[in-house]
Chain A
Amino acid sequence: MPGEPILECERLCKRFDATVAVDEVSFTLQRGDILGLVGENGAGKSTLIKLLGGEYALDSGRMVYRGRAIRWTNPSHALREGIAIVHQRPLLVESMSAAENIFLGKEDVTRLRLIDELTVGEKARALAARYPIYPGLDLQQPVAVLTAGEKQVVEILKGLSYDPEVLILDEPTASLPKEEADRLLALVRRLNEERHLTVVYISHKLGETLALCNRVMVLRNGGNVGVVKREGADRPTLIRMMMNSDLSEFYPPKASSEAGTPLLEVEELRSPTLHGVSLHVNAGEIVGLYGLMGAGMSEVARAVFGIAPITSGRIRLGKTGEVFERTHVDSMVARGVYLVPEDRHRFGLISTFSVRENTSLAHLDRCLPGALLDFARERRLVEAELAKVRVKYADTEQSIAELSGGNQQKVIVSRWLMQECSVFIVDDPTVGIDIGAKHDLYVLLRELTRQGKAVLMISSEITEIIGMADRLYTMRRGAITAELEGEAIHQQNVLENIL
């Protein structure tokens, strides 16, 4: 019956180590509802839906589904009961066809217990006909050849193939072209009207959310800060609710003096994903680079640092006055341009190395009095460097894997600071680290600017970038959309320029 509660959540909590990801969130989902879920990166949206869909276990709190208190044992339990999640990053087996992916785990079998290939294809065609989001998509192709948008469609069809009562969509339109996105939204609306499908809809696109949803729930720092009805809501209201103003004390004071000469100038940088990015970073300032996931901030960092290819554009280093049309990592490192990459596990840490070896890796020449490494000197240098950023570790010889995330990140930062830097680029350095370590990193970056270094900071957390940046570039789809300075760096302004 539409209107009756289908899912009631009471004080849901989930924490990861020191981070509270979902903090006492309560809400009720009614049958036939389309509930929007908005909030900044890290506000807890993804964690919340993973709790709803049984992918994470609750730390505390209560869920009542269709009148019965439930506790999911695993995602397929929730799926069988009718709650399907469509993930933002499709979880698909690349080497299998789209059809096989959709029916993975629920294939028909022949009498010999072999998978009935014919029915998989037919059922996939029937499904695509029933839900015509992307009529031209060939479901017999391997997923590996599909575009990001097409994969998203496959993921959505996979979710719908379970015939769910509650469909949770996590940024389904982020990688879809306009036409397909519109078709998807129309389909969601139709399923909702005809079959009373209940939908939870996460999106960064506020306009789209307001157009689709009956109600919108705003999350901030893992907490539910309010549910607004569509009639009472507009973009500014939502943005204000997403904001967090109480930042002043957590971030170290911003640069008080005028910034110095530019140490890094990027002119008209182009690559397959960047469309003419120009920016500069002066001595003594922290410049922020902010946008939605995939807007190209990391690509800028990688291009400057010589990891990602550049098709055109120029990079000028203020210290030497050199101009580069092509960069390479070692030539940048030799000139004091360093990058702390995103995703430290993938791009930063060498998990088989000790704390000592991880720290000294970028500047091994300092441990080379002659042809051979001097381990004693290496250990001394590493200990001195790690003490500066207050890394907690037992012994330089212990494995880096034994350290906490925050301390691992400090090691990666220290790795570079063993040698004087000129331009320090940090790409989302505080992801998944505890608050104390975050604060230490903020203080460290600020200290660098005081020494006249230039810092370019990318962050996925808007409060962090606002708290840290003296100047801020916003990005959208591989291009700079605005340059904000001083008082102009506030949340509403930033959000308007990235969405």
Chain B
Amino acid sequence: MNGTRETAAATTAPAAVSTAPSPARRAARFLRGMELLAIYVLIVAVVGVASDRFLSIENIANILRNTAIGGILALGLTIVMVTGDFDLSFGGAVSLLNLLALIGLDKGLNLYVVFALLIVGGVLWELINALLVVRLKMHAFIATIATMTMSKGFIFWITKGSTYYGSYPDNLTYLGRHAFLDVLPANALVFIVMAVAVYLLLDRSRFGRHLYAIGGNSEAATYVGIRVNRQRVVAYVLAGLCVGVATVTLCSKLATAPSTAGDGYQMTVISAAFLGAAAFRVGMVNVRGSILAIFILTTIENALIMLSVPFYFQFIVQALILIAAVTFVSRKNKKGAGPAIF
């Protein structure tokens, strides 16, 4: 650098420093990432006017009940995706664990022992994924396609493809079918408690900030002293916890084991995680976004039924929303296309 030129510039170095944000800034700060929430409110309002049953207490309870299992799975997937990893296998894991639980109950195992085993099983399942992805450095997509396929193999091996029925204790279905005061379904309560816990853990704790940092730039995370690989494994373990709890609620709801019990949730939950990246922390898969998105998807599904729209339209609508959301995200971060995951 030329000495004289630099000296001149150095003496006129800028002294401007930001001051307290203006009210306009504060408003912008508050409204940042709120677009999707606004759309949700709009949808609820419009459908509420169009259908008198939509905003009835039973229907709201219904939406809550239908959101719970997918919601719990979405929390788990979100934790993994926040660190930049992925999981395609949780649907298969839920199906397999549900089957094993009902076999266990049929053989006379205590209900609470079975529930505990389900949670352990979920954790072990995701530990296998973590082993493949973090230790063996497989791409998360490929590794979890493999474990998903594995789960299917085991299920068909055991059931030969038919739905499994067995005997089970009466109190199995309490969690899945009971509602407090006929308003708040028990499984929705489980979801809400977990959602709050995961939000606090990821968005309000140091641990969570570290997970987001790993997803944002794992090399930079290493350079501030975050043990990246260890935390990625912990993220999978937490996801496993969610898979376990989701299976408990599913098992309690179905009390049977169709071989594809968990599959129906798979795509909705993955869509929710991507859709959620369009809200709050725009551009990153994030907890509040995922929670909002799973509500949006189940609400729309419910609304279409309320409005007597043929069921296949829900898939088309879901797809269009996802495309719109990802386009929105990639427009917003000019640098990357879509959420920072692939």
Task: Name A residues whose Cβ lies closer than 8 Å to a Cβ of B.
Answer: 42, 221, 223, 244-247, 249-250, 305, 307, 328-330, 332-333, 339, 341, 346-353, 357, 361-362, 364-365, 368, 371-373, 383, 386-387, 390-395, 397, 401, 415, 434-436, 438-440, 461, 463
Contacts and interface: CB of A to CB of B under 8 A. Distances in A.
Contact of B223 (A246, A307, A373, A392): A307
B217 A329 contact: no
B173 to A, nearest CB: 36
Contact of B205 (A244, A332, A371, A439): A371
B223 A341 contact: yes
B23 interface: no
Q: Most chain-B CB neighbours within 10 Å: which of A249, A346, A440, A461?
A: A249
A380 to B, nearest CB: 11
Contacts of A434: 9
A352 B216 contact: yes
A373 B222 CA distance: 21
A366 B283 CA distance: 27
Chain A to chain B: the 8 pairs with minimum beta-carbon distance, closest first = A246-B3, A350-B216, A330-B225, A436-B13, A329-B225, A439-B10, A352-B216, A435-B9
Contact of A330 (B9, B28, B227, B335): B227
Contacts of A373: 204-206, 209
Contacts of A365: 206
B340 interface: yes
A346 B13 contact: no
Contacts of A368: 206
Interface stretch (B14-22, B58-66, B85-93, B123-131): B14-22
B308 interface: no
Contact of A349 (B2, B18, B217): B217
A390 B220 contact: no
A245 to B, nearest CB: 8
B10 A436 contact: yes
Given A350-B216, A371-B205, A244 B224 contact: no
Given A246-B4, A330-B225, A392 B18 contact: yes
A395 B18 contact: yes
A435 B9 CA distance: 7
17 contacts: A221-B2, A245-B3, A249-B7, A250-B3, A307-B222, A346-B220, A347-B219, A349-B220, A350-B220, A352-B333, A353-B216, A357-B209, A357-B213, A373-B205, A394-B18, A395-B25, A439-B13
Contacts, number: 132
Given A221-B2, A250-B10, A333-B224, A383 B18 contact: yes
Which of A245, A250, A362, A401 has the most chain B CB atoms inside 10 A of its CB?
A: A250
Given A244-B2, A339-B223, A436-B12, 13 more contacts: A249-B3, A305-B223, A333-B224, A333-B225, A350-B216, A352-B284, A357-B213, A372-B204, A392-B16, A395-B25, A435-B10, A436-B13, A463-B1
Contact of A395 (B4, B29, B204, B227): B29
Interface in B1-47: 1-7, 9-10, 12-18, 21, 25, 28-29, 32
Given A221-B1, A387-B17, A397-B29, A353 B223 contact: no
A315 to B, nearest CB: 16
A362 B3 contact: no
B331 to A, nearest CB: 14
A357 B213 CA distance: 9
Interface in B175-213: 200, 204-206, 209, 212-213
A350 B217 contact: yes
A334 B298 CA distance: 47
Contact of A390 (B14, B209, B335): B14
Given A329-B225, A372-B204, A347 B220 contact: yes
A329 B29 contact: no
Contacts of A364: 206, 209
Contact of B6 (A346, A391, A397, A435): A435
A352 B340 contact: yes
B29 A250 contact: no
B199 to A, nearest CB: 11
A353 B212 contact: yes
A247 B223 contact: no
Contacts of B219: 346-347
Contacts of B223: 305, 307, 329, 339, 341, 347-348
A309 B300 CA distance: 53
A243 B12 CA distance: 26
Contacts of B200: 372
A350 B213 CA distance: 7
A393 B29 CA distance: 14
A346 B218 CA distance: 9
Given A221-B1, A249-B7, A250-B10, A361 B224 contact: yes
Interface centre among B29, B206, B222 (most CB of A within 10 A): B206
Contacts of B333: 352, 401
A253 to B, nearest CB: 14
A305 B18 CA distance: 33
